[in-house]
Amino acid sequence: MLIPVKDPFLTDVENLDESLQAAAASFRKLLDFDISYISRFDNNHQVIVAVEYSDSGADIPINKGSVGNLEQTYCKRVADNKLPRFVRNAKEEPLVADIPDIAKLSIGTLISVPITLRDGTLYGSICGFSRTIRNDISERDVRFVELLAEFASRVLESSITKSTNLRKRHDFIMKIISDRSFQNVYQSIVDLTTGKNVGLEALTRFEDVLFVSPDSVFREAERCGLKSELEIAVLHEPIKRTHEMSGDCYVSINVSPVTVATKAFKDLVATAATDHLVIELNEADTVDSYFALNDHLNRIRELGISLAIDDVGSGYANFRHILELSPEILKLDISLIRDIDTNRKKQALAAAITAYADEFGSKIIAEGVETEAELQILRKLGISLIQGYLLSKPAPW
């Protein structure tokens, strides 16, 4: 069994490359060879994954990423137990005379050791040679190279195990997306001054009970490189629901900055009743460039879509999202609202954020309101837009 040429899920690639390169370097330097390299076998190909040269070996045409015919290599014959791992004088050894590279590269002394995983899988080999005939090289040196092959094997096994696990998680997230094994639910946002709903936040519930929370599914999708794909998949229904809203009522959707930048998201929101759509960015979301994010958001806001910053005051950040993005809505996090009636520090922070919002024309929504006491203190602070279990629980449309 052979390892494939490319594994798109191979994890910790940088650390893996460094480890394999270190093994190749140790081989060449300690044996003072002209070149050493680690290769991967794939079907009929030998792929170089790490290589180390001496100054005198810099002209050898073996480079990282280069691919050769596996069946014509010394390394493959060693792996097949057809040739010994150590050839002192390749220029006069009849067993290797028919291997094209032996004469072409003027190889003198040659060592190759297969890299085999513990389950018997043949990965490839660690190989090196000197153009001169080295009488000082012995079987003891071969045993050293065998230790390097064992080290490379363990490093590869660890990475391949992680790769396999990541692939399984990737496939699981893809199945959620393809099977649409999720449900959209909506929680009302109520204006205390009128008693009416002014908006509905679209939330996602997943069918698989293995996940602790919906957020954990999105975190898993992010680790698998599928965060935007999952976010867009769950947003199709809420986007359609905007066409059923009337007056000033809206649907609010949660999206990450990385998804905002995608063409798929822009195309999707363009199909909405945009005057009835709010997009929420989380205060904890990482932003690489506010200039670039504002550029994407401005195009979206030109359609009539409003921006909200979610989880304000949750302790994640320094309010930079608010300062840089100038949102129309600030949503106070449940951690700030919980027991706000008995916590004067929370009251002071909520009052300060409310004053800021009043100064710059943003609306304040208090999330996670669960008790009458919390509701009353929010009234006193002048916060009239409320979302939480006290008034409504998330439910299907």
Give the H/E segment covering residue 237.
helix 227-241
Q: Which letter does DSSP use for residue 371 in this model? A: S
Rounded Cα distance, 101 and 108, in Å: 11
Q: How does DSSP assign 140-181, residue by residue? A: HHHHHHHHHHHHHHHHHHHHHHHHHHHHHHHHHHHHHHHHT-
- Side chain identity at 392, as an amino acid letter? S
Rounded Cα distance, 218 and 206, in Å: 10
- Residue the block writes with tokens 């094994």: 181
Rounded Cα distance, 125 and 128, in Å: 10
Look at residues 234, 181, 186 and name the one whose alpha carbon lies nearest to residue 208.
Answer: 181
Class of domain 13-166: alpha beta
Q: Where are the domains of the chain?
A: 13-166, 180-386
Contact criterion met (CB below 8 Å) for 126 and 141: no
- The phi, psi pair for 75, rounded to 5°, reads -60, -40
One pLDDT digit (tens) per residue for the chain, 397 residues: 333 334 444 445 557 889 999 999 999 999 999 999 999 999 899 999 999 999 999 999 999 999 999 998 999 999 999 999 999 999 999 999 999 999 999 999 999 999 999 999 999 999 999 999 999 999 999 999 999 999 999 999 988 888 888 889 999 999 999 999 999 999 999 999 999 999 999 999 998 656 678 999 999 999 889 999 999 999 999 999 999 999 999 999 999 999 999 999 999 999 999 999 999 998 778 899 999 999 999 999 999 999 999 999 886 556 889 999 999 999 999 999 999 999 999 999 999 999 999 999 999 999 999 999 999 999 999 999 999 999 999 999 9
Q: Which letter does DSSP use for residue 242 in this model? A: G
Residue 87 has, within 13 A of its CA and on its CB side, a CA count of: 26
Rounded Cα distance, 152 and 22, in Å: 10
Rounded Cα distance, 142 and 112, in Å: 8
Q: Which letter does DSSP use for residue 48 in this model? A: E
Q: How does DSSP assign 61-78, residue by residue? A: ---TT-EEEGGGSHHHHH
- Pairing mode, strands 250-254 and 277-282: parallel
- Side chain identity at 174, as an amino acid letter? M
Pick the CATH number of 180-386 from 3.20.20.450, 3.40.630.30, 3.90.1720.10, 3.40.50.720: 3.20.20.450
- The phi, psi pair for 358, rounded to 5°, reads -60, -40
Length of the chain: 397
Q: Which residues contact 265 (CB under 8 A, 6 or more apart)?
A: 228, 231, 232, 235, 255, 259
- The phi, psi pair for 109, rounded to 5°, reads -100, 140
- Side chain identity at 382, as an amino acid letter? G
The b-or-e profile of 146-181 (16+ CB within 10 A means b, else e) is: eebbbbbbebbeebbeebeebbebbebbeebbeeee
Predicted pLDDT of residue 284: 74
Predicted pLDDT of residue 163: 82
Three-state DSSP class for 14?
Answer: helix
- The phi, psi pair for 297, rounded to 5°, reads -65, -35
Predicted pLDDT of residue 6: 43
Three-state DSSP class for 186?
Answer: strand
Q: What is the pTM of this model?
A: 0.72
Predicted pLDDT of residue 162: 84
Same fold, 13-166 and 180-386: no
